[in-house]
Amino acid sequence: MADLPLPHAARAAHNRLALLALLAGAVAIGGSPIFVRLSEVGPVATAFWRVALAFLPFLAAQRLSGPAVDARPSGLRDYLLLLLPGVFLTVDLLAWHLSLTMTSVANATLLANLAPVFVTLGAWALFGAKITRIFLTGLAMTLVGVVILKGGPGAMGGGRIAGDATAIVAAIFYAGYMLAIGHVRSRFSTMRIMVWSTFSTALLVLPVALAFEDALLPVTLYGWAMVLGLALVCHVGGQGLVTYALAYLPTAFSSLTLLLQPVVAALLAWLLLGEAVGPMQAIGGAIVLAGILVARRG
């Protein structure tokens, strides 16, 4: 439900629950690179199925939730606000997948993870959010941890300027997605936001997938299982929990916590794909967790 004035004890309980939801959402979204890598169809087609298959569960959940407990859209402006997160997410997904073909995977991953920097700047510039030195210290620690996790500064070699710039565009638009979700979450319920934003993302990604992908449909049950898992685990579960948490937690902190995703992706790649996890990855993951704990204090 949308934000309502709560007693201090109830608000603290909601904050704890929101933090757990945020962490669980970050873990769920962290599995998305595995599903994308195992998908039978191309990255843009996979992105389409991620949101298209998530739309009906969100719609069903909204219908089953009973009478509306949040504000209903009251005009064109409200409907545009509900569609806006999907526009940001569309550009983010397309730029992210495109950057993987234009620069090194290390560069694309590292630069796309700059989103919390842009969220922090946007929250301060647009909404007047108070950014403490402790939070900035945690943000810096977490970004350093991600760099170490991905192989250290030396892994940044071999990139191309255009591809690197595209990855930064992905980070900026993911920041826009987080800020837009955080803004509308103060008025509308999780399910209402996810129905509208998922619908707009699917609508915008579909023509791009039809234009640039050789095949749109998976051809085996295994292929359908991968896109269905991506939709249900990463989008319905992951993005749904993150959207719920944004009603109670600052957007800047929430975006920082989502840097758990590369840690989770590395662990899943080790468990499911047999990719090695060395001391550097372990140290980087520990620094990410420590940075999030420091930022939480701020």
Q: 145 is written with which tokens?
A: 């941890």
pLDDT digit string (tens) for the chain, length 298 residues: 444 445 566 666 777 898 899 889 988 888 887 888 788 998 899 999 999 999 999 999 888 876 666 678 888 998 999 999 999 999 998 888 788 777 766 667 677 777 888 888 888 888 777 888 888 888 888 888 877 876 766 655 555 778 888 888 988 999 999 899 988 988 888 899 999 999 999 999 999 999 989 999 999 999 999 999 999 999 999 999 999 988 888 888 887 777 777 777 777 777 776 766 677 777 877 887 787 777 777 6
Please report, as a single letter, which amino acid is at residue 13: A
pLDDT of residue 253: 80
pLDDT of residue 10: 62
* Cα angle, residue 258 at apex, residues 255 and 261 outer, rounded to 5°: 155
Cα distances from 171 to residues 59, 70, 91, 204, 212, in angstroms, run: 28, 30, 10, 19, 22
R_g over Cα of the chain: 19
pLDDT of residue 13: 72
How is 131-195 classified by DSSP, letter by letter? --HHHHHHHHHHHHHHHHHTT-GGGGTT--HHHHHHHHHHHHHHHHHHHHHHHHTTTS-HHHHHH
pLDDT of residue 3: 45
Q: 74 is written with which tokens?
A: 């009251």
Contact by Cβ (8 Å): 224, 50:
no
Contact by Cβ (8 Å): 236, 7:
no
Q: How many residues does the chain have?
A: 298
pLDDT of residue 2: 46
Q: Whole-angstrom Cα distance, residue 97 to residue 165? A: 13
